[in-house]
Chains A and B, each alone.
Chain A
Amino acid sequence: AQTVTQSQPEMSVQEAETVTLSCTYDTSENNYYLFWYKQPPSRQMILVIRQEAYKQQNATENRFSVNFQKAAKSFSLKISDSQLGDTAMYFCAFPGGATNKLIFGTGTLLAVQP
């Protein structure tokens, strides 16, 4: 079965510091995308970053970057220079193959402290 595991239910970081959120997944697919979504208190689901599994290079979007380890099936999100507006629930997700859905982890609640 295809699964996504986020082992950190909650994390806290000081403003301006760096934090890494973990995600592992299990799939038999070879080519796929991986996503990190952010859900702030407004409840809107916002795409943070995506990674294409066939690309060696880790994706980067401004202060957000990933550490993608395909063999280990690991897809962590690094947030640099954390800001108060980064406070949110973060979900790791990847497509469920033939089932045409995104499979989501249970989320990591990140609190950025002033």
Chain B
Amino acid sequence: EAQVTQNPRYLITVTGKKLTVTCSQNMNHEYMSWYRQDPGLGLRQIYYSMNVEVTDKGDVPEGYKVSRKEKRNFPLILESPSPNQTSLYFCASSIRGPAGDTQYFGPGTRLTVL
């Protein structure tokens, strides 16, 4: 089944404890992206990747890191999480970029930072 998977689905952590949210797609998509969703703000892009080893900042990259060492995986890293990073996170992928392709979203990761 073609899909985007994320792990974990739910995570409660404490301020400053490094964490990684994994994202994997099995559709051979070139493009992958991370969004965060907050009430009243819709979804905002954190980072994106047009291809392996190519990543760039989105609108809200502060406090996040990503890597794209292989096509199928695009982990989101929070080196020192803070409470303002409590949010619902989505990974998305598409064949190319979003300009002409449908974005396929993962199931979301709800992160709480205490």
Query: Interface of A with B (CB < 8 Å)?
Result: 4, 32-33, 35, 37, 42-47, 50, 91, 93, 95-97, 99-102, 104-107
The answer for the CA separation of A99 and B59 in the assembled complex, in Å, is 9
- Choose from B31, B42, B59, B108 the contact partner of A44 (Cβ within 8 Å): B108
| Interface of B toward A, CB cutoff 8 Å | 31, 33, 35, 40-45, 48, 50, 56, 58-59, 88, 90, 92, 97-100, 102-105, 107-108, 110
User: Are B48 and A101 in touch, CB under 8 angstroms?
Assistant: yes
A to B contact number (C-beta, < 8 Å):
63
Q: Which of A100, A104, A105 sits near B97, CB closer than 8 Å?
A: A100
A11 to B90, CA, bound (A): 25
Which residue of the partner chain, among B40, B98, B105, B110, contacts A101 with CB atoms under 8 Å? B98
* CA A99 to CA B110, docked complex, whole Å: 26
In whole angstroms, what is the CA distance A50 to B102 when docked?
Answer: 8
Name, among A47, A96, A100, A107, the residue most crowded by chain B CB atoms within 10 Å (CB to CB).
Answer: A100
Residues from chain A with Cβ under 8 Å of B97 in the complex? 95, 100
- Select which of B40, B41, B90, B99 is within 8 A of A95 by beta carbon: B99
Query: Smallest CB–CB gap between B92 and chain A, Å?
Result: 8
Q: How far is the CB of B41 from chain A (nearest CB, A)?
A: 7
A to B CB contacts below 8 Å, 28 in the list: A32-B99, A33-B99, A33-B100, A35-B102, A37-B105, A43-B108, A43-B110, A44-B105, A45-B90, A46-B105, A47-B103, A50-B102, A91-B43, A99-B58, A100-B31, A100-B33, A100-B56, A100-B97, A100-B98, A100-B99, A101-B33, A101-B48, A101-B58, A102-B35, A102-B43, A102-B98, A102-B103, A107-B42
- In the assembled complex, how far is the CB of residue A98 from the closest CB belonging to chain B, in whole angstroms? 9
Contact across chains for A102 and B45 when beta carbons are under 8 A apart: yes
- Set B41, B44, B48, B88: member contacting A100, Cβ < 8 A: B48
**In the complex, residue of chain B having the shortest beta-carbon distance to the beta carbon of A106:** B42
Q: How far is the CA of A106 from the CA of B43 in the complex (A)?
A: 8
- Which residues from chain B contact A100 at a C-beta distance below 8 Å? 31, 33, 48, 50, 56, 97-99
Cα A68 to Cα B42 with chains together (Å) = 22
